Amino acid sequence: MDETIRDFDELTDNRDVSEGLIKPSPAVLTPALTFLLATTCGVTVANLYYNQPLLANISRAFGVSESAAASVTTMTQLGYAIGILLFIPLGDRLRRKPLVMALTAFIILSLLAAATAPNLPILAAASFAIGLVTVVPHVLIPFVASVVSPEARGQAVGKVMSGLLLGILLSRTASGIVGNMFGWRAVYYGASILMLLLAFVLVVWLPDSRGTATLSYPRLLRSVWDLIRTEPVLRQACISGALLFASFSIFWATLAYLMNSPAYHQGPLVVGLFGLVGAAGAAGAPLAGRLADLKGPRFMVGISIVVVAVSFVLFMLFGLTYVGLILGVLMMDLGVQSGHVCNQTRIYTLGSHHGSRLNTAYMVCYFVGGALGSQFGAWAWTTFGWQGVSMAGIGTMVLAFTIHNTAKI
C-alpha cells in the first residue's frame, strides 16, 4: 500500500507539502453527473440490504434459528464499517475512479460467493465481504461536498443521498419480489449482474478526480482518530448517527420475523413491499437537506430523533395492524434518513480537504450502530416479541435525544 502511495506521489504535482495537500482538479457538479452519482450510490448500497426480507427464508433453508440467521445482516454491517475504515480515507489520497472500479469488481465476486454459499457460515462470511467492499457511495459523497459552495452543500448532498436512501429501501422491495418468485439465491445472482452492468457505465461516464492529502496510508488512518479526538461536532454526529441507524436496524432486522409470525402469515414479498413505504418517507431527505441549510443541521438532527421516537411508539401501539406499520415506517425512514443527511451536512463544514476521513469516522460509527441494532433487535424479538422490539427502538431514541441535547455544540 505504501509503495502504491509513493508511486502516486511521484505522479502528482502542485503539492503544498507544508499543508500535506495537493491542489485538487477542478470539477463541476452538473445535473447529469448528480444523477449518475445518485444512481451509483443507490445501486451499490442496495447490496447491503437484500438479505433483510430473506432472513426467514434463509433460516428455513439452512435449518437454523431466526437469531442465527440475523448474523447475515450483522456481518454485512460489520464488514461495511471495517471497509469504510480501511478504504474510504484513500478518497482523500488517491484517484477516485480506479478505487471505485476496483471495489466494484470485488463486490461482484462477493455477491457470487453469497449466491453459491452451501451453509450459513459461508453465507455470513460472504456477507461480511459484501459489506467490506460496498463502500463506493462514501468515496463519491465527499467528492460532491467538495465541489459545491457551502450554502448549497446540504441540498447537493441531499440529492445524491436520496439515490443512496432509495437504494437502501427499494432493495428490500426488489429482494422480496425476486426472493418470493425464484428463491433467495436468485437475489444475489441478480445483484451481481446489476453490478456488472453498472461497472460498464462507470468505466465510460464516471469522471476521475483525486484527493488532496499527501499523507502516508498509516498516517491517513491515524488522522481519522485525530479528527474524532479534536472535533466535538464530529463526535456528536457519530453518536447520533449510530443511534439513529441502530433504531433503523432494530426494525428492519425483525420485520421479516413479524411478517412470518401468526399475526400476519406473510413472506418476503410483503416485507419487500414495505420498502416502497419507506422510500416514500425517505423522499423527504432532500427537503431535510434544504432545511439544514436554512435552520442549521444540528436543529434538524434533533427533530429527526423525535420523529423516529414517535414512529416506534406507533409500532408499539398499532404495530400489529397494517395501518400502524405503514404510518410508523413512513415516519421512521423519514426521521432516520433526514438525520443522516443533516449529520453529513454538518460534518462537511469541518473542511472539504479531509472530507473522506470525516465521512470515514462518521460512517464507521453509523454502521457499528446498525450492526449492534440488528443483534439487539433480534434478541428483543426472541425474548419479548414485537413489544420488546418497539421498546428497544424507543429506548435507543431516548438515549440519542438525551446525548444530543446534553452536548450544546
Between CA 184 and CA 356 the distance in angstroms is 34
What phi, psi does 323 have (nearest 5°)? -60, -45
Tell me the DSSP string of 216-254.
-HHHHHHHHHHHHHH-HHHHHHHHHHHHHHHHHHHHHHH
Identify whether the C-beta of residue 37 lies closer than 8 Å to the C-beta of residue 144.
Answer: yes
Q: What pLDDT sits at residue 282?
A: 66
Q: What pLDDT sits at residue 4?
A: 38
Identify whether the C-beta of residue 68 lies closer than 8 Å to the C-beta of residue 190.
Answer: no
Identify whether the C-beta of residue 48 lies closer than 8 Å to the C-beta of residue 79.
Answer: no
3-state class (DSSP) for residue 149: coil
Query: In sequence order, what are the residues at sequence separation of 6 or more whose Cβ sits closer than 8 angstroms to the Cβ of residue 106?
Result: 129, 133
- Which grid coordinates belong to 101? 472500479
Between CA 68 and CA 89 the distance in angstroms is 33
3-state class (DSSP) for residue 21: strand
Between CA 78 and CA 131 the distance in angstroms is 7
Walk along the chain (409 residues) and give the pLDDT tens digit of each residue.
Answer: 444 334 333 333 333 333 344 444 445 677 888 888 899 999 999 999 999 899 889 999 999 988 889 899 989 989 998 998 998 888 777 788 899 999 999 999 999 999 999 999 999 999 999 999 999 988 887 777 666 666 666 677 777 877 887 787 789 889 999 998 999 999 999 999 999 999 999 998 888 777 666 778 888 888 889 999 999 999 999 999 999 999 999 998 899 899 989 999 898 888 888 888 877 776 666 676 677 777 778 888 999 999 999 999 999 999 999 999 999 999 998 899 889 888 988 887 887 567 778 888 898 899 889 889 988 998 999 999 999 999 999 999 999 999 998 876 6
3-state class (DSSP) for residue 368: helix
Sign of CA dihedral 245, 43, 281, 374: negative
Between CA 332 and CA 335 the distance in angstroms is 5
Q: Which domains does the chain have, with CATH numbers?
A: 29-206+229-406 (1.20.1250.20)
Between CA 110 and CA 358 the distance in angstroms is 27
Query: Is the pTM value of this prediction over 0.85?
Result: no
Query: To which residue does cell 451481481 refer?
Result: 192
Residues 159, 162, 167: CA angle, nearest 5 degrees: 145
Q: What pLDDT sits at residue 344?
A: 83
Identify whether the C-beta of residue 120 lies closer than 8 Å to the C-beta of residue 69.
Answer: yes
Between CA 22 and CA 17 the distance in angstroms is 8
> Nearest CA to 343 among 329, 356, 321, 359?
359
CA separation, residue 57 to residues 61, 63, 120, 216, 277 (Å): 6, 10, 12, 46, 22
- Which grid coordinates belong to 281? 418517507
Query: To which residue does cell 443511534 refer?
Result: 243
Sign of CA dihedral 199, 200, 205, 210: positive
